[in-house]
Structure 1
């Protein structure tokens, strides 16, 4: 059984990040199996928590994922576009990067 709270929370976070409806559907892959949906939701929650460690204001917390980023992982694209394009692997890579930045 899917953790509906985590999925709803992940959708809200994506909305806060200014993801389009298409991006939300794509990033969460709402048509996939429950296990993957839960993993994607969990990764989004973890990215959001790391952003809250990095930044102390909602504008930066929510704006980071829509801001073009020069880090080689994103190559000038927005992190939201990257995770939409790369799927679950992109979510994992983004989490790893954000956790690394937040721990410094």
Structure 2
């Protein structure tokens, strides 16, 4: 399926709901607004509008942005499966991680670099915690 077809499958309201959910998760993960914008590849104005909860506002996201939203939502889902307590579900990505890929940096620091590879590789490593075989 082409990226154009993927984008066309989601309405503006669905994209807006997904974006707002991802922003809520990022906020709970202690991401700054700047980090959230880099992770999701959205503008500061889109971030501000999405954060205002204006029910009339809607946004169209491109395939890359939708994939980024999906990765954040899936990381959150994996963390909820792995951890029972909210402190770890929401605190894990902000904690320093000394595994080889992270080298003492937090998953949030890696994701906030803004490139898709960093976001995807962080997702893969979190997804493995729940037993996903790569």
Please report the TM-score for the alignment, with normalisation by the length of structure 2: 0.72
Tell me the equivalent position of 1:81: 109
TM-align CA RMSD? 1.5
Structure 1 runs of 4+ aligned residues shifted over 4 Å read none
**Which one has a bigger Cα radius of gyration?**
2
Query: How many angstroms apart in 2 are the aligned matches of 1:13 and 1:73?
Result: 23
Please report the TM-score for the alignment, with normalisation by the length of structure 1: 0.91
Q: 1:86 to 1:30 in 2, by over 3 A?
A: closer
1:66 correspondence with 2:94? yes
Does the aligned pair in 1 maintain the 2:41–2:114 contact within 8 Å? Answer: no
Tell me the equivalent position of 1:8: 20
Query: How many angstroms apart in 2 are the aligned matches of 1:100 and 1:92?
Result: 12
Does the aligned pair in 1 maintain the 2:97–2:103 contact within 8 Å? Answer: yes
Q: List gaps (5 residues or longer) in structure 2.
A: 1-10, 44-60
Tell me the equivalent position of 1:103: 131
Query: How far did residue 45 of structure 1 move?
Result: 0.2
The superposition leaves residues 35-56 of structure 1 with CA deviations (integer Å, 9 ceiling, x where unpaired) of: 1111100000000000011100
Aligned residue for 1:75, secondary structure, equals coil
Count of aligned positions: 103
Name the structure with the higher helix share. 1
Q: List gaps (5 residues or longer) in structure 1.
A: none
Query: How far did residue 87 of structure 1 move?
Result: 2.1
